[in-house]
Amino acid sequence: MSNAHSVIYRSNDLDETRSIVAGIYCDHRLDQVGGRERLAYEQTHCRMGDFSFSQMGYGADVRVEPGRLGDFYLIQVPLAGTDQMVVDGRAFCSDPVHPSIHAPRSGLGMNWRADCRKFVVRIERHALESHAAALSGRTEAGPLAFLPSVDLRQPAVASWVATAQHVLAELQRHPQLAEQPLVRSQFEQLLMTTLLSWMPGSFAETARSERRVVLPRHVKAAEDYMRAHPEQALTIETLAAEVGVSGRTLFDGFRKFLGVSPMRYLRDLRMECVRRDLLDASKPRSVTTIATHWGFYQLGRFACEYRRRFDEQPHETMARGR
């Protein structure tokens, strides 16, 4: 189906709303919680080939329980309000800074607040996995894993969301674009390639690992030096002097081949060191002591970043290390 004309759905009836949303996504249970507000469901929906886009809200506190998703990937970006989610048994809050990504057949429960409104993108499983196989040179498609909660303050994540919203806006302005196979294919290829490359997950991690094999000498040398001396007070200047290039050349090399700045790479490396020490029962049994040892002094920010990176709290990692 390539028709990109937007359809607007509205309902104040719980059963009718559940039926409409089930027809767009998958069967689920829908309950209004508390009953303080009148249900005011509204959804603008647009489908293009293997993609569909929605802007939607329920206007009341509701619990949505699909149980297991169908054969599609689902990206949900709150535009306002919050959704207390449970994904495969793990609870977290999705808000305008933290979109969520769900894989096919993943367990999902949602608790939309009355003020929650989302931009939602559905991608058919066969399309995204086949595209990933083509990009990686594999002969067969396979399942992809993404972090369930991502940070919209990360430039790559923000760029993907903005790109998807731009595609939807263009389709709404010019629905006939979806009837042109070349244009539709370009839209789909753009969104799938950038999703795979920019969103934290198995595909992006594998791609980064493969890129390390062909890193320029100065980038590889700086990477090796940081891994050998993560505890040192390293700067761009000291790294550049160590590997014999200018700071700009080093910065550009990291950005081009690893997708991050040298200092961001060092911060990520130290975060890995924190996790290693939290799991090591011989290390101090204090999250604060370990975090500050590796240079993380803003503990609230550290805890949030750690949770987004490893999908658990630092104290949970430490408990497993016991």
- The DSSP secondary structure of 37-95, one letter per residue, reads S---EEEEEEEETTEEEEEEE-SS-EEEEEEE--SEEEEEEEEES-EEEEETTEEEEEB
User: Which residue ranges form the domains of the chain, and what is each CATH number?
Assistant: 7-207 (2.60.120.10), 213-321 (1.10.10.60)
DSSP 107-171: EEEEEE-TT-EEEEEEEEHHHHHHHHHHHHT-SS-----B-SB--TTSHHHHHHHHHHHHHHHHH
Taking residue 237's Cβ as centre, other Cβ atoms within 10 Å add up to 11
The H or E element containing residue 179 is none
pLDDT of residue 1: 41
DSSP 8-class letter at 35: -
Q: Look up residue 287 and give its two tokens.
A: 């999250």
pLDDT at 273: 92
Q: What is the pTM assigned to this prediction?
A: 0.66
Neighbouring-strand partners of residue 9:
43
CA distance 27 to 52: 17
Mean pLDDT by 10 residues, the chain (322 residues): 74 97 96 87 95 96 93 96 93 94 93 97 94 75 85 88 92 85 86 88 70 76 92 89 91 85 91 90 89 88 86 86 64
Reported as a single tens digit per residue, the pLDDT across 241-268 is: 999 999 889 988 888 888 788 998 999 9
